[in-house]
Amino acid sequence: MDKQQLRKALEPFREMLKDRGFALDSLTFEPAYPGDSSSSYVLTPTARWIKEQGQVKSLEILLDTLWKTTTVETRISVFCFNLKEACQPIVRRSKIA
């Protein structure tokens, strides 16, 4: 499955996340094996709720929704979710007087 086909196949996934209150700001796709676009993809979602929920809870939400909205063929094309960048600490500014 190529990147465009995967993007289309994941539309119900993104819609269900949105309906559940977990909308994604973006979802990027990178080949799991650089140079081989016919294999699976690493998906990197970004959303404030991912930072707030943490990696474990976010992964539970993403995988549960993925399984409910996609076919086996689509899931085979998803190598993994990359949450490392999405879970960087939220910077909060506070005044020190």
Looking at the domain assignment, is residue 86 inside a domain? no
For residue 55, give Cα distances in angstroms to 16, 35, 61: 19, 28, 10
Per the structure, how many domains does the chain have? 1
CA–CA dist 58, 21 (Å, integer): 12
Looking at the domain assignment, is residue 35 inside a domain? yes
pLDDT by residue, tens only, the chain of 97 residues: 888 999 999 999 999 999 999 999 999 999 988 887 678 999 999 999 998 998 899 999 999 999 999 999 999 999 999 987 655 554 444 444 3
CA–CA dist 63, 21 (Å, integer): 15
Question: What residues make up the domain containing 74?
Answer: 3-81
Looking at the domain assignment, is residue 87 inside a domain? no
Looking at the domain assignment, is residue 56 inside a domain? yes
For residue 56, the domain's CATH number is: 3.30.300
Looking at the domain assignment, is residue 47 inside a domain? yes
pTM recorded for the entire structure:
0.83
Q: Which residues contact 28 (CB under 8 A, 6 or more apart)?
A: 43, 44, 46
